[in-house]
């Protein structure tokens, strides 16, 4: 399938999605000696400079016992968007690649799909026709690929796919196309008493099978979009059967709602990369106290991708303007990161 995503615009907005990034900003004045300057660098894949300093300074301030900005460990909640913030989202959301692959895999059992949209478009690799099927078409694809099985069956389907699928450009599993600097950031925050959560527009059950292994984030710390399930007995065993109906969209204003529902505390740090993360960043940072808002700005067409205001996936426009106003840390991928992927 053509990796050019220009025919998949609003299509995936409601059902898939993601987070933000540009122009260096620092969280308040620099007071403490950054932790990384005191010993072993906990963020070795980050170039020294304002961006890195804004992170380490924030952590030093909220973890300094007796300091004016000290935050008790229980309140050190940090939330991370997934698509475009922790792993790649170009040329299309990974979950959309899953949907297309899965629909193709199911096609032999559904001969009628050869002549019926949106399935025909998927089988023909015709992204223009797929886009023309609109949100209704995408929901039909979600229904056949994400519903109609138990939660455990879906977890296995998602797990098997993520283990075998490869990105076309990088020829690597998607779980290796995570950002090494962000893995270091997650570990660094946890080492400083933070509890790290994913808050993604992506499907919660699509992420949970691998987030612990890849990010060190257990299922109970993953917040995402979901479809409804029904409790039922199958052969005397209680299961949750997945229904073709949206339960919750964890994007834009949905992110603060999802955070409140799942976590019940306002984060003190949040990272995203698109307009879908705007409200999460506002909710986190505009609440008094020292807070850290971060935006991954994709500026590196050579090592990854370069996109922002015009992108169909991970559009970063309003949140980029808001970053300057709110002094969020904008991570310039090209200049701030020594390497992009692990290994």
336 binds its own copies (CB under 8 A): no
| Residue selected from 262, 300, 326, 342 as contacting its own copies according to rule CB under 8 A | 262
What's the Rg (C-alpha) of the chain? 20
Q: Is 265 in the site for its own copies (CB under 8 A)?
A: yes
Residue 216 and residue 80: Cα distance in Å, rounded?
A: 13
Q: CA-CA-CA-CA torsion for 187, 206, 312, 86, nearest 10 degrees?
A: 10
275 binds its own copies (CB under 8 A): no
One residue of 15, 157, 222, 319 binding its own copies per CB under 8 A: 222
26 binds its own copies (CB under 8 A): no
**193 sits near its own copies (criterion: CB under 8 A):** no
Q: Which residues contact 45 (CB under 8 A, 6 or more apart)?
A: 180, 181, 184, 337, 338, 339
User: Does 316 interact with its own copies (rule: CB under 8 A)?
Assistant: no
150, β-bridge pairs:
241
Kindly determine how many residues on this chain lie close enough to bind its own copies according to the rule CB under 8 A: 36
Comparing CA positions, the residue from 327, 215, 314 lying closest to residue 273 is 314
Distances (CA, A) of 177 to 69, 89, 95, 304: 35, 10, 14, 10
For position 213 contacting its own copies by CB under 8 A, the verdict is: no
Give me the torsion for CA of 215, 275, 89, 57, rounded to 10°: -40
**Residue 176: partners with Cβ closer than 8 Å, 6 or more residues away:** 341, 342, 343
CB of 293 vs its own copies, minimal distance in Å: 12
Closest CB 327 distance from its own copies, rounded Å: 15
- Judged by CB under 8 A, the chain residues 276 through 305 that form the site for its own copies are 279, 282-283, 286-287
For the segment 51-110, give every residue that binds its own copies (CB under 8 A): 74, 77
The string of DSSP codes covering 32-44 is SPPGGGTSS-S-T
CB of 253 to its own copies, least distance (A): 4
Element (H, E) at 2: none
Q: By CB under 8 A, tell whether 148 contacts its own copies.
A: no
Taking the least distance from each CB to its own copies, the nearer of 30 and 246 is 246
Determine whether 111 is exposed, middle or buried from the number of CB atoms within 10 Å of its CB (0-12, 13-18, 19+): exposed
- Residue 229 lies near its own copies (rule: CB under 8 A): yes
**Residue 87 or 283 having the CB closest to its own copies:** 283
CB 308 within 8 A of CB 334: no
**Binding segment for its own copies among 130-138, 169-177, 251-259, 294-302 (CB under 8 A)?**
251-259
H or E segment to which residue 292 belongs: strand 292-297
Is residue 219 close enough to count as binding its own copies by CB under 8 A?
A: yes
- Kind and range of the H or E run holding 199: strand 195-203
Based on the shown chain and the rule CB under 8 A, indicate whether residue 151 belongs to the binding site for its own copies.
yes
At closest approach, how far in Å is the CB of 266 from its own copies? 8
How far CA 12 is from CA of 18, 168, 205, in Å, comes to: 10, 20, 17
If the CB atoms of residues 124 and 232 are measured against its own copies, the closer one turns out to be 232
Q: Does 238 bind its own copies (CB under 8 A)?
A: yes
The only residue of 257, 317, 327, 334 in contact with its own copies, by rule CB under 8 A: 257
Contact between 191 and its own copies by CB under 8 A: the answer reads no
CB of 154 to its own copies, least distance (A): 11
Binding site for its own copies (CB under 8 A): 74, 77, 151, 195, 204-205, 208, 212, 218-222, 226, 229-231, 236-238, 240, 247, 253, 256-257, 260-265, 279, 282-283, 286-287
């Amino acid at each position: 399938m053509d990796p050019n995503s220009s025919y998949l615009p609003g299509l995936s907005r409601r059902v898939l999605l993601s987070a933000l990034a540009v122009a260096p900003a620092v969280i308040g004045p620099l007071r403490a000696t950054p932790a990384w300057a005191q010993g072993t660098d906990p963020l070795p894949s980050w170039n020294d400079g304002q961006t890195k300093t804004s992170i380490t300074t924030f952590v030093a301030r909220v973890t300094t016992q007796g300091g004016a900005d000290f935050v008790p460990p229980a309140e050190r909640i940090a939330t991370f968007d997934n698509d475009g913030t922790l792993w790649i989202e170009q040329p299309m959301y990974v979950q959309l690649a899953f949907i297309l692959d899965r629909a193709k895999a199911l096609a032999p059992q559904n001969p009628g799909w050869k002549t019926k949209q949106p399935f025909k478009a998927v089988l023909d690799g015709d992204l223009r026709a797929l886009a023309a099927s609109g949100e209704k078409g995408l929901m039909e694809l979600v229904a056949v690929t994400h519903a109609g099985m138990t939660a455990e069956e879906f977890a296995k389907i998602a797990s098997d796919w993520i283990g075998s699928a490869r990105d076309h450009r990088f020829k690597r599993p998607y779980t290796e196309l995570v950002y090494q600097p962000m893995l270091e950031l997650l570990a660094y925050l946890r080492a400083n008493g933070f509890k790290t959560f994913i808050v993604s527009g992506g499907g919660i059950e699509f992420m949970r099978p691998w987030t612990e292994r890849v990010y060190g984030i257990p299922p109970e710390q993953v917040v995402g979009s979901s479809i409804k399930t029904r409790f039922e007995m199958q052969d005397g065993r209680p299961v949750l059967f997945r229904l073709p109906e949206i339960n919750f969209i964890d994007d834009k204003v949905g992110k603060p709602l999802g955070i409140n529902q799942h976590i019940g505390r306002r984060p003190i740090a949040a990272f995203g990369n698109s307009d879908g993360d705007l409200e999460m960043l506002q909710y986190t940072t505009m609440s008094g106290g020292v807070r850290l808002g971060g935006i991954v700005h994709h500026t590196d067409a050579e090592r990854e991708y370069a996109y922002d205001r015009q992108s169909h996936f991970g559009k970063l426009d309003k949140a980029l303007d808001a970053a300057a106003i709110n002094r969020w840390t904008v991570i310039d991928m090209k200049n701030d990161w020594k390497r992009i992927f692990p290994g």
